[in-house]
Amino acid sequence: MKGQAFCLAFFWPETGTATKPSRITAMTETQSKARIQAEAAFGKTQSQFLARNRIISENDAVVQERDEKTMRLRALRMAKEAGGTATPDGMTAAYPAKD
């Protein structure tokens, strides 16, 4: 076919609309069973992977919040044991506690 123009116009409808060729559409509709099973298995594996990542990120957020609260409470306890009064942000106040 060297030097000749090759026309695929017979695939397109004669109405001039830009739709998919019917021959290609028919090929995609009749997929093999193996391909359908492979795509289903891939989709299942991918959804499990995404669900696992979502759970891990939620767990990481809970752990971070717990660690921040533990550090804040530890600072308050240490300030109280040192004899100073503690403020909610974990810093000791400049004045002594009233007894």
* Residue 24 domain flag: no
| Rounded Cα–Cα distance for residues 1 and 67 (Å) | 72
* Residue 7 domain flag: no
Decide if pLDDT at 35 tops 60.
Answer: yes
pLDDT of residue 24: 53
Closest CA to 59 of 71, 70, 67, 49: 67
pTM above 0.85, yes or no: no
Count structural domains, the chain. 1
* Residue 48 domain flag: yes
Decide if pLDDT at 45 tops 80.
Answer: yes
Average pLDDT of the residues of the chain: 75
Q: Which of 13-17, 28-32, 66-70, 82-86 has the lowest mean pLDDT?
A: 13-17
Query: Please, which pLDDT band fits residue 94 given cuts at 50, 70 and 90?
Result: low
